[in-house]
Chains A and B, each alone.
Chain A
Amino acid sequence: MATKTLVAASTKPLVLSILAHGENYGYQIIKEVEQISEGVLQWTDAMLYPVLGRMEKEGLIRSHWVKTEQGRRRKYYRITLLGEENLAQEKQQWLKVNYAFVRLWGLTDTPYSPTKA
C-alpha cells in the first residue's frame, strides 16, 4: 500500500494520464488505477470525487453526463488542452524524480557515486 502522502501527490497526474487515453468515468478510473498499480493504489470514491471536482474547476478536465443502455447515468471525464499541458509538465517532474531514484539505487548504467570531498 502506498502512503497517504504519495497517494495525495500522485492522484492528479494519475487521473490526467488515464484520461489522456480517452474519456472515462469515476468507477472505471478507480478500477484502472488499481489494476495498473497491481493493487498498490486503492482509491476510495470519497477521495476521488472531490479531486475530480477540483480538477474540473481548474480547467484540467471536463465532464458530461451520459445515459447508458441500462438507463443508468454516468459522468464521463475527458482531458482538456490545459490538462494535457499540465500532464506534460507533471510527466517531466515524475520522470526526473524516477531517474534520480533509478541512479541512486544503481538500476542503470550510470549509477550514482558520491563525489569525493
Chain B
Amino acid sequence: MSFNFKASLAAFRQELIAQGHFETGLVEELVANLNDRYDEFLIKGEQPETAFQLARQRVLPAKIDSTASLKKLNKAINRPTGLIGSFFFLLPNFFKIARRQLYRKQLYNAFNFCCLTIGIFTTILAVLYLEYETSYDRFVPNIEQKFRLGRTQRSQDYSIVSFDGFFSATAEQQLHQIEGLQAVSGIVSACQFFIFSEPTYVQINDKRLPATNLLQTNTPKAFFDFFGWKFLTGSLNAFYQSSNTAVLTRRQAERFFGSDWAQKISENQQLILEEEPYQIAGVIEDVAANTHFDFSIALNRPKIDYWGARIYLELLPRTKPEQVLARIDQSMPSINARIAANELYGGSILQPISSIHLDSDILYELKPPGDKRYLYIIGIIAAIILLMTVSNYMNLSIAMNAGRSREIGMRKIFGASPRLISSQFILESVLISWLTIPVVFTALWFVLPRFNQLMGTAIDEQLFSSAIYVFLVVGIASLIGLIASIYPALFLANFSVLALFRNNLTNNTNQFFSTRKLLITFQFMLLIGLCSLTLLINQQLHYIQTKELGFNTEQILYTYLPGDSSSYQLFRDAALQLPAVQAVGSGSTLAGQPYNQTTYKLAGTTEIFDDAYNISMDYQSLALLNIQTSIPELVARPENAPGLLVLINETLVEKLTTYFSISREELIGKTIIEEPEYVDEDSGEVGFPFTITGTFADINMFSLHHQISPTFLSVYRSLPYAYSATIAYQGSQTAEVIAQVKEQYETLFPDRIFEYNFLEENIETLYENEQRIAHLGIYFSFVAFLVAVIGLIALTAYLTTIRRKEIGIRKILGASQWDILRRFNAEYFLLLAIALLLSSPLVWWGINRWLLSFAYRIDISMGVFLMAGFITLVITGLVVSLTALRASNQLPVQALQENQ
C-alpha cells in the first residue's frame, strides 16, 4: 500500500488536537513544520513513509513515560510504591491535612459532626434493639434441635397441651404422655412444666413473701438438661432424685436470705408452699430477660396441678420436624388415646424454640410475643435516619471540599493517583466519625436505661465494659464514615487537572448540580415518608384508643377471689359499704388475650360452627359495664330475673340469620347446642343446650387486632364460680379507693394476696407494642427532622456563601430581599413536590400492610401526606429563608469586593 502523505498529515493534526494542550495556532504551526521537515528528509533521499516518521519524531518527540520516571524517582528517594505503600507513607501528611481541614471549616465540620453523631447513635441503638429481639432463647444448648409441642383444637392453636382430666390424672397418667412422646422415633427427650403467674405466699424459715411465676415440673432432669440451667449452688441430682424439691433463682435467694445467701442456705433448707414442704436443692442464675418465659422457683412435684402442661421436645440431629410431627400424630393413640379419639383434635404443632418470641401467634403464650413488623419498622426508621446522615454528609462534603479543587489539582500534578486522593477524603470522614465515638458512648449511657424502660427491653446497660460492644460501636462508626465519604471522594478525585484549576466545581459542573438535587430530593422523600408514617401510626393508635368498645371502661377495677360464690358475696357486701364504690359485679374480665373458642349448632340443624366465645357475668356486672342488651328491664331489676339466661351477640345474630335465612324474631327463643360433639354417657344428652333469651350489642373483648367473634353471654343472678370481682367506683381518689378495697379484702382473705387491675390499664396493655412504636416513631421523626434541618442549614449557608456575589449583583440591580428569598426557596420547593409524589405511594403501601393487621382501622387519607409535605415545606422554608436572609443582609459592595 502506498503512503498517503495528506492522510497522515491530517491524522497528525487530529492527534495534536486530541491531546488538548495545544492551541489552534500552534497546531497549525507544528503541521507546517512537519511539512518542511518531511521535504528535508525526502531531499536527503529517505522513502516518503520513513521521511514522515523521522519528521514527526523531530516535531513531536515521543512522550516521556511519566509513570516510569515517577517510579524511578520514588525508588531513588526510597518511597514505597503501590496504593497501600503510598497510603501509609503519606498517612502522617493525610492526618496533618485532615486536622487543618477540621480546624479551618469548624462550623461546617461541626454540622457534619452533629449529623454523624446522630446517625451513628441511632444505628447503634437500632442494632442493639434488633440484636436483643432476635436473641431470644439463644442460650438454649443445641437450640436448632429443640421444639415446643403445641396442639390444634377446633380451629385454634394452643401452646398448652392437655387431655381430658389432666388435672385429676395420676402422676403416672401425666407422665405416660411424655413417655409416649419419647418413644416416637426422632425424639431424643421430652419435658413438661407449667408456670403459675399468680402470686402465692412462700415461706422459708420465718420469712413469708409472695412469689410469682412458680414453675411446676414432673420431668425435672429433662427440663434442666433441655434448657441448660446452671447451678450456682446445689446440684441437679439433689433436685431430681427425690420429689418435692425446689430450685430458687438468684433473685429469690437474695429476697429470702439476703446477699450472703450462699452461706445461709443450709443443707436441709426447706420452703413451705401452700402448707407443703419442699427441700431446696440449689440456686440458679436468674432467667435471662430474653427468654420466652420466666420463673422464680422451680418445683419438682409428682404431678402438675393444672389442666395441661407445656411440652418441649429435643429431636435427633438432622431430623426433619415435619416427619417427627407426622409420627407423633400417627402414634397419638399410644401417646394419649383420649386425644386421638377426640374429634376436635386437629393435629400437633412443632415450633422451633428460636422462633417462639417473634413468630408464634398461638393461644396462651407465656410472655406477650414480639412482633416482627415492629422490628422492620424500627429497622427502616433507623435506616432512614442513617441514609439521611450519609446523604447529608455527602452533600455538605462535596460542597465544602469543592473549594479544595486547587489542592487536589496540585496533588494530581505531583503524581497522586485518584485513589490516593480519595483515601485522603475517606480518612477525613472516618476521622470525624471516630471523633463522635465518645459522644455516642455518653449518649448511649444516658439513653439506654430510658430506652429499655420505653421498649420493655433489657439491653445490657453496661455495654461499655464489653469489648465486643466497643468493637461494634467503633466498627459501625468507621463503616458509616466510610460509606458517607465514598461518593464525595470518588467525585472529587476523578476530575481532570484542568477542570480542577479552572474554577469552583460547585458552579461549573452540571453533574454535581444534579447529584446535589438528587440527594436533597431523596432526603425530602425520607422526611415526608417518616413524617407521614408517624402521623398515620399515631392516627391509628388514637383511633383504637378512642374507639367505642361497647362497654364502659372508666373507673372499673378488677380484683381476684378464691372462686366460690360465698366468698364473693362476703366481699361484695363489704365492698359496697365503701362510700366510693358504686357497684360490684362478677364475671369474665374484659380486655385480655383471646382464649379457647367453643363449638355449637342450632338445634334441629346439622351445621356445626367452632368460632364462639363463651363469657359469663352477673346482672350487676352487665349493668356497671353498661353493655347494651335486649333485656334492659331484667338488668335493672335482677331480683325479678331468672337465675340464668343466655344472650348472643349481634355478630352471631347476623351469622345465624343469614346462614339459616331466618328473621331475628324467629331466632330468639331457639336452642343452641354448645359442644355437640359431647354426649353425656348417663343421660345420652348431646352437648350443652341453652335457649337464646335475647341479644347484646357487640363488644370488643380483645384488642382491635381481632375481629369480633360470635359470643354467648351467660347472665347469672349469682355466679356458681366467681374468680373475680368487678368494682365500679366514683370520684378521683383512686389510690384511696384501692387502699380501702385492699383493707376489706385482706380482712376477709388473710391468706390471699390482693391483686387488682384497672380495665383502662388492661386496654392500654393490649396496645403496648403500638404505643411503644408510636413513641419511638415520634422521637425518631424528631431526630430525622433535626438531622435534615442541620443538613439544610449547612448546605444553604454554604451555597449562599458561594453565591454572595450573585446576591450582591441582584441587589444592585434592584432585587428586593423577598425576590432573593423567593429565588432561593423556589429551588427547594420543586424538589419537595417531586419528593412528595414519590414518597406518598411508598408509605401508603407500607402502612396499609401494617393496618391490615388490625381488624378495625383508619382509612388512609391523602391529607396526611399533604400535611407531612406541608410540615417539611414550612421547616425547609424557614431554614432556607433565615440562612439566605443572613447572607443577603450583607452590603452588596462587600460581597463584590471579596476575591473568591
Interface of A toward B, CB cutoff 8 Å: 25-27, 44-46, 49-50, 53, 65, 72-75
Give me 20 other A-B pairs in contact (C-beta within 8 A), A46-B59, A73-B32 excluded: A26-B29, A26-B32, A26-B33, A27-B33, A27-B36, A44-B61, A45-B58, A45-B60, A46-B60, A46-B61, A49-B26, A49-B29, A50-B26, A53-B25, A53-B26, A72-B35, A74-B32, A75-B25, A75-B29, A75-B32
Complex contacts, A72 vs chain B, CB 8 Å: 32, 35
Q: Is the CB of B28 within 8 A of A45?
A: no
Interface of B toward A, CB cutoff 8 Å: 23, 25-26, 28-30, 32-33, 35-37, 58-61
- How many angstroms between the C-alpha atoms of A50 and B60 in the bound complex? 13
- How many angstroms between the C-alpha atoms of A27 and B26 in the bound complex? 13
Residue in B closest to A53 when the chains form the complex, CB atoms: B26
Q: Is the CB of B37 within 8 A of A27?
A: yes
Q: Is the CB of A73 within 8 A of B28?
A: yes
| Max chain A Cβ within 10 angstroms of own Cβ: one of B25, B29, B30, B36 | B29
The contact of B30 among A25, A49, A65, A74, by CB within 8 Å, is: A49
Least Cβ–Cβ distance between A43 and chain B, in angstroms: 10
The 8 nearest A-B residue pairs measured at CB: A27-B36, A45-B59, A27-B33, A45-B33, A75-B29, A74-B32, A49-B26, A26-B33
- The answer to whether A75 and B28 touch (CB under 8 A), given A27-B33, A27-B36, A27-B37, is yes
Least Cβ–Cβ distance between A53 and chain B, in angstroms: 7
| Max chain B Cβ within 10 angstroms of own Cβ: one of A46, A50, A72 | A46
Residue in B closest to A73 when the chains form the complex, CB atoms: B32
Complex contacts, A74 vs chain B, CB 8 Å: 32
Least Cβ–Cβ distance between B25 and chain A, in angstroms: 7
- The answer to whether A27 and B32 touch (CB under 8 A), given A49-B26, A53-B26, A75-B25, is yes
Least Cβ–Cβ distance between A93 and chain B, in angstroms: 29
- How many angstroms between the C-alpha atoms of A55 and B488 in the bound complex? 42
- How many angstroms between the C-alpha atoms of A44 and B36 in the bound complex? 14
Q: Is the CB of A44 within 8 A of B29?
A: no
- How many angstroms between the C-alpha atoms of A46 and B35 in the bound complex? 15
Complex contacts, B59 vs chain A, CB 8 Å: 44-46
Least Cβ–Cβ distance between B711 and chain A, in angstroms: 98
Complex contacts, A53 vs chain B, CB 8 Å: 23, 25-26
- How many angstroms between the C-alpha atoms of A96 and B697 in the bound complex? 122
| Max chain B Cβ within 10 angstroms of own Cβ: one of A45, A46, A53 | A45
Q: Is the CB of A45 within 8 A of B30?
A: yes
10 contacts between A and B (CB under 8 A): A44-B58, A44-B59, A45-B60, A46-B30, A46-B59, A49-B26, A49-B30, A74-B32, A75-B25, A75-B28
Least Cβ–Cβ distance between A22 and chain B, in angstroms: 18
- How many angstroms between the C-alpha atoms of A78 and B305 in the bound complex? 119
Residue in A closest to B23 when the chains form the complex, CB atoms: A53
Complex contacts, A44 vs chain B, CB 8 Å: 58-59, 61
- How many angstroms between the C-alpha atoms of A45 and B35 in the bound complex? 12
- How many angstroms between the C-alpha atoms of A53 and B22 in the bound complex? 11
- How many angstroms between the C-alpha atoms of A46 and B29 in the bound complex? 10
Least Cβ–Cβ distance between A45 and chain B, in angstroms: 4
- How many angstroms between the C-alpha atoms of A101 and B409 in the bound complex? 44
Complex contacts, A75 vs chain B, CB 8 Å: 25, 28-29, 32
Least Cβ–Cβ distance between A63 and chain B, in angstroms: 8
Complex contacts, A26 vs chain B, CB 8 Å: 29, 32-33
Complex contacts, B33 vs chain A, CB 8 Å: 26-27, 45
Least Cβ–Cβ distance between B391 and chain A, in angstroms: 46
- How many angstroms between the C-alpha atoms of A92 and B345 in the bound complex? 120
- How many angstroms between the C-alpha atoms of A65 and B32 in the bound complex? 11
Complex contacts, A73 vs chain B, CB 8 Å: 28, 32
Complex contacts, A46 vs chain B, CB 8 Å: 30, 59-61
- How many angstroms between the C-alpha atoms of A50 and B25 in the bound complex? 11
Complex contacts, B28 vs chain A, CB 8 Å: 65, 73, 75
Least Cβ–Cβ distance between A27 and chain B, in angstroms: 4
Residue in B closest to A45 when the chains form the complex, CB atoms: B59
Complex contacts, B29 vs chain A, CB 8 Å: 26, 49, 75
Least Cβ–Cβ distance between B614 and chain A, in angstroms: 102
Residue in B closest to A30 when the chains form the complex, CB atoms: B33
- How many angstroms between the C-alpha atoms of A46 and B36 in the bound complex? 15
- How many angstroms between the C-alpha atoms of A73 and B35 in the bound complex? 10
Complex contacts, B30 vs chain A, CB 8 Å: 45-46, 49
Complex contacts, B58 vs chain A, CB 8 Å: 44-45
- How many angstroms between the C-alpha atoms of A74 and B32 in the bound complex? 6
- How many angstroms between the C-alpha atoms of A53 and B28 in the bound complex? 13
Residue in A closest to B22 when the chains form the complex, CB atoms: A49
- How many angstroms between the C-alpha atoms of A75 and B36 in the bound complex? 12
Residue in A closest to B57 when the chains form the complex, CB atoms: A44
Least Cβ–Cβ distance between A34 and chain B, in angstroms: 11
- How many angstroms between the C-alpha atoms of A76 and B408 in the bound complex? 40
- How many angstroms between the C-alpha atoms of A98 and B275 in the bound complex? 127
- How many angstroms between the C-alpha atoms of A49 and B30 in the bound complex? 8
Complex contacts, B61 vs chain A, CB 8 Å: 44, 46
- How many angstroms between the C-alpha atoms of A17 and B292 in the bound complex? 100
Residue in B closest to A47 when the chains form the complex, CB atoms: B61
Complex contacts, A49 vs chain B, CB 8 Å: 26, 29-30
- How many angstroms between the C-alpha atoms of A50 and B37 in the bound complex? 19
Least Cβ–Cβ distance between A10 and chain B, in angstroms: 20
- How many angstroms between the C-alpha atoms of A45 and B26 in the bound complex? 10
- How many angstroms between the C-alpha atoms of A53 and B32 in the bound complex? 16
Least Cβ–Cβ distance between B55 and chain A, in angstroms: 10
- How many angstroms between the C-alpha atoms of A74 and B26 in the bound complex? 11
Residue in B closest to A74 when the chains form the complex, CB atoms: B32
Residue in A closest to B36 when the chains form the complex, CB atoms: A27
Least Cβ–Cβ distance between B32 and chain A, in angstroms: 5
- How many angstroms between the C-alpha atoms of A25 and B28 in the bound complex? 13
Complex contacts, A25 vs chain B, CB 8 Å: 32
- How many angstroms between the C-alpha atoms of A25 and B60 in the bound complex? 17
Residue in A closest to B61 when the chains form the complex, CB atoms: A44
Complex contacts, A50 vs chain B, CB 8 Å: 26
- How many angstroms between the C-alpha atoms of A26 and B58 in the bound complex? 13
- How many angstroms between the C-alpha atoms of A44 and B59 in the bound complex? 6
- How many angstroms between the C-alpha atoms of A14 and B115 in the bound complex? 64
Least Cβ–Cβ distance between B250 and chain A, in angstroms: 86
Least Cβ–Cβ distance between A38 and chain B, in angstroms: 18
- How many angstroms between the C-alpha atoms of A50 and B27 in the bound complex? 11
Least Cβ–Cβ distance between B824 and chain A, in angstroms: 42
- How many angstroms between the C-alpha atoms of A74 and B39 in the bound complex? 14
Least Cβ–Cβ distance between B167 and chain A, in angstroms: 105
Least Cβ–Cβ distance between A47 and chain B, in angstroms: 9
Residue in A closest to B28 when the chains form the complex, CB atoms: A73
